[in-house]
Amino acid sequence: MNRKAAVENLKNGLWALGFAVGIWYFADQNVSRDAQVEVALVVQPASRDIAVTYIHPERNEPVEALRATVTLRAPQSVLNRVSEWRREALYRLKTDQRLNTDITIPVRDFEFPFPPEVSVYDPVPETIRIRLAELRQRRLGIDTDIDEATIPRGYEIERSVSPATIFASGPKEKMEPPPRLKTARIDVLEELLLRGWKPGDPRPPPEIDISPVRIESPDPAIVPDRAVSVRVRIALRPKRPAAQFSVRPVIEIPMREAFPYRLEPTNEFVQLTLSADQTLLEELAKPGVLEKKVRAIVRLRPKDLEDIRQNVGRAMPLPVEVWTAEEIRCLADKEIQINVDVRPWTPLPSPTPETP
């Protein structure tokens, strides 16, 4: 009988313990606790024609984005889902009248994307500064930033970036004249090692194909289109002699009869670095040979026409395509350009018929 009573008491004790643990867990999950999280701060202008520049609170210079650390207070059961929440707070501007002046915004006034039972307080920093300006969007060229010191000795590189231009947006004063974007710095030797090739290998180096590659802006206020995937190809060739040559570019204008502008190059020639066998380089220096084996062509693309319309009466850069004979290579670490003065087209007056 005593044994049976002891078993019954043990069961009751275990049940009571389980009940107590359940009560404790329920109470613990519903007690409010604090947690600190970092959120991105996004200011949405009232008009799409306005650019927002974020100002770093300590360095007092433009930055691409701002973040703040905030303290969240909520029941533990709610905070357990904090990793699932979006970390972007939004502030909607109601007016865009104060252009080119600093505007201070309290971080507590942002809209935080947290559940209603979550309280947000103690933001660090407490305020941020922004500057509004007229927005300009245009296509910008992309240069490949290659660490020249990492190119294996005895080799030269051919590089290409696709697409060659992407859209970017920023304050109007920072987009004129159009700046150039660049890729993140590329370590050629590191890329070759990743592909199983190292200096001294008897095999030819493999082609380096990087996609997507990160695009960097010359100014934090200029924001490139991050949705576009940019690809860089790098080919290594045994190094050959190289020399500089002056080539006169030819501007090809589609439908010249309907083109209402005159494009006048500010420089008559572009300087090209050409690589070839020594004998051929000497041949290119002779009269008439260079023109047959190397051409510099400016082909107007549809996207160039809008830039031309916006630059009437001013100089603007245009990309130059270089065609070479198969045995010649043009060495260039960035897109080759010429500057042209854009003038309205003024047709010559028709001859006045002579009166008898």
From residue 331, give the alpha-carbon distance in Å to each of 159, 164, 246, 280, 316.
9, 16, 14, 16, 24
CA separation for the pair 199, 152 (Å, rounded): 7
* pLDDT computed for residue 27 by the predictor: 47
Q: Which domains does the chain have, with CATH numbers?
A: 30-134 (2.170.120.30), 241-348 (2.170.120.30)
Query: Do you find a cis peptide bond into 177, omega within 30 degrees of 0?
Result: yes
Q: Which residues of the chain have pLDDT under 70?
A: 1-31, 96-97, 254-258, 303, 346-356
Give the strand order in the sheet containing 66-75: 88-92, 32-44, 66-75, 119-124
- Whole-prediction pTM value? 0.62
* pLDDT computed for residue 255 by the predictor: 61
CA separation for the pair 83, 224 (Å, rounded): 29
* pLDDT computed for residue 295 by the predictor: 93
Which pair of tokens denotes residue 188? 């050629």
From residue 356, give the alpha-carbon distance in Å to each of 346, 350, 353.
30, 18, 9
CA separation for the pair 150, 118 (Å, rounded): 52
* pLDDT computed for residue 8 by the predictor: 66
From residue 106, give the alpha-carbon distance in Å to each of 42, 72, 128.
13, 17, 7
* pLDDT computed for residue 5 by the predictor: 65
